Structure 1
Amino acid sequence: MDSPFHNIPHADAFRAWLQIEKGLSDNTINAYIQDLFKLAQFSDEYSGKLNPEKTDIKTLREFLHWIHDIGLSPTSQARILSGIKAYFKFLKLEEIINHNPAQLLETPRTKRKLPVVLSLQEIDALVEVIDMSKPQSQRNRAIIETLYGCGLRVSELTELKLSNLHFSEGFIRVIGKGNSERLVPIGETAMKEINNYVKYERVHVEPQKNEEDYVFLNRRGKHLTRVMVFTMIKQLVQAAGIQKTISPHTFRHSFATHMVENGADLRVVQEMLGHKSILTTEIYTHIDRHYLKETLIEYHPHGRG
């Protein structure tokens, strides 16, 4: 078989751009080149040698039909398209081509796996198994209630600051992805558990330098890591006898799902979660339908056929 570089114009410059400008690993770069090799194979078979200057969106759409017809999965198609888009973006930036034909190509829809969701009873069970006679027990209660009550990412929880708790207004200020800030409403239960932690447990921990403003501290006075939160939740799941595979993110999924199940507007849930696109939030409508179907099967007299 020919080298992946064969018949790919400007392949060396593209590789250098991916490496230097994008900082990608060799494995990722090689995957991009392999994706371009498929485009070169398609061009050889149907229209001659690959010529970026003469490649238009119609040709690229035919190429997408071709990789679909040869049996590649939607996930593989989406990955290949990502490589093709990067290649033509590079060519346009370098003014090798005047127009980027890949700019308007749509990514094939991939089937999204529905995330694991906890029931309200399971969340209550996790809180109830916390041994309140042990150190950090009130902190752990507050963590569970904050993850579930506000739908936070675990990084947003570990970075939460005392100065960003605005309980009198019923909000907390959260630093999300890309350093973006958003105000998230917080319920009575989560506020009560955080207040109990701060007043009665956290006061006995001496914060280390520059750690004073973090809400959740470990016993050495440093703010928690993602791994610490994950480990704590794993131990609670085992103690509660819950058989699901659960991570801190499961509480975020549960928060959103329960909101949608109870009639919350999807745009409001999007705002609370900090999703840039409503498409990301829409997965919770699918979970809701799945939940409704399971409820019908379990509780309706003719649900099981």
Structure 2
Amino acid sequence: MNWNSYIKNFQSYLKIERGLSKNTLANYTFDLERLCSFLAQNDINVSPEEISDETIQEFIYSVSKEVNARSQARIISGLKSFFSYLVFEDFRTDNPMELIEAPRIGRKLPDTLSVEDIDNLIAAIDLSTPEGERNRAILETLYGCGLRVSEVINLKISDLFFEEGFIKITGKGNKQRFVPVATATQKYIELYKNEIRSHLTIAKGFEDTLFLNRRGKQLTRAMIFTIIKTLAVKINLKKNISPHTLRHSFATHLLENGADLRSIQLMLGHESITTTEIYVHLDRKHLTQIMHTFHPRKK
């Protein structure tokens, strides 16, 4: 088999066996294609079964001149997965990535918003337009349920279980979870669904999609980014924010008000608790309050 055949089989493995998202598949494929281009440019004719760690190190060294440490770490992670797959399928007996270490990178924390910031963002929405009611429902759902932007645009009417107080979310790798939804958030979703969405001409295939554009089709990720960026400019908010900022604020505010990490992990849909720990960036004043409240020696 040539490189393309191995890569296609690897893609199938990631999709079927590991249930990874389209974005992750695209990133892994791009990195492998980059390796193939490097081999072609340097007249290195070698198969995935035979490529040596020295050749891969040369590739990583060349890439390190073009990308930052975070991108370099991602490339190394993708290559490790690819060669681990080859070992798993008995195409190789060794993994040439075993001794190759990724650069150390710090955990990047996105900006967080205060409750006042979020209230100001939502208050800046023009509710005199149909899109305004929709946008308010979207922002309330992003912040009220701590969702990813992809989870919001893919939210279905059939995923709403308001009587039980939950919505069903399909997250990364098609993994499903139930997230509590507050009464206030339910109110804004119902208002949009019954008063605005019900008057749209809905395109075929989007009958169950909750949030729609003017043409009755699913919103794009870019559209949600644009809505939030425009509101930030409108209220003169001097922060670089995105839909994920609302998700981050959701977790931070829960944590500051006493919620435990495990509960937040379940609501955010993180596979590992270490991912949730990224959100623990409380100020020292709050940590002092926690210690004085809960430590047995507080007196």
Are the structure 2 counterparts of residues 88 and 182 from structure 1 closer, same or farther at C-alpha, using a change threshold of 3 Å?
A: closer
Aligned to 1:133: 128
Secondary structure at the counterpart of residue 169 of structure 2: strand
- 1:288 is the counterpart of 2:295: no
Instruction: List per-residue Cα deviations over 1:174-210 (Å, max 9, x = no partner).
Output: 1111111110000122111111112222222122222
Over the matched positions of the two proteins, sequence identity in percent amounts to 44
What amino acid maps onto 2:250 in structure 1?
F
3-state secondary structure, aligned to 1:172: strand
Aligned to 1:187: 182
Q: What secondary structure does 1:221 align onto?
A: coil
- 1:104-162 superposed Cα distances (whole Å, 9 cap, x missing partner): 99867531111111111110001111122123111111111000000111111111111
**Deviation of the 1:29 alpha carbon:** 4.0
1:69-218 counterparts in 2 under 5 A?
Answer: 76=72, 79-80=75-76, 83=79, 86-87=82-83, 89-91=85-87, 93-94=89-90, 96-97=92-93, 110-218=105-213
Deviation at 1:273, TM superposition (A): 0.6
C-alpha deviation, 1:90, in angstroms? 2.2
- Equivalent residue runs for 1:224-243 within 5 Å: 224-243=219-238
The 5 A counterparts of 1:55-70 are: none
Q: Does 1:262 align with 2:257?
A: yes
Work out which of the residue numbers 30, 34, 44 in structure 2 matches 1:27. Answer: 34
Counterpart CA distance in 1 for 2:92 and 2:182 is: 56
| Larger CA deviation: 232-241 vs 103-112 | 103-112
Normalising to structure 1: TM-score of the pair? 0.70
* Contact 2:76 2:102 (8 Å CA) reproduced: no
Higher normalized contact order (CA 8 Å, seq sep 6+, divided by chain length): 2
In 2: Cα distance, 1:171 partner to 1:84 partner: 38
Alpha-carbon distance in structure 1 between the residues aligned to 2:52 and 2:106: 23
SS at match of 1:125: helix
* Unmatched tracts of structure 1, length 5 or more: 1-12, 44-71, 294-305
CA contact (8 A) 1:19 1:29 kept: no
- Aligned residue for 1:83, secondary structure, equals helix
In the alignment, structure 2 segments of 5+ residues that lack a partner are: 12-28, 43-49, 58-67, 288-299
Q: What TM-score, normalized by structure 2, do the two folds share? A: 0.71
RMSD after superposition: 3.4
- 1:93 deviates by 2.9
Give a deviation string over 1:244-287, Cα, whole Å, max 9, x none: 111111111111111111111101101001111111111011x2
Q: In structure 1, the residue corresponding to 2:250 is in which secondary structure?
A: helix
How many pairs does the alignment contain? 250
Larger radius of gyration: 1
8 Å CA contact retained: 1:138, 1:197:
yes
Give the secondary-structure state (helix, strand or coil) at the position aligned to 2:147: coil
CA distance in 1, matches of 2:39, 2:254: 40
220-229 vs 111-120, which deviates more?
Answer: 220-229
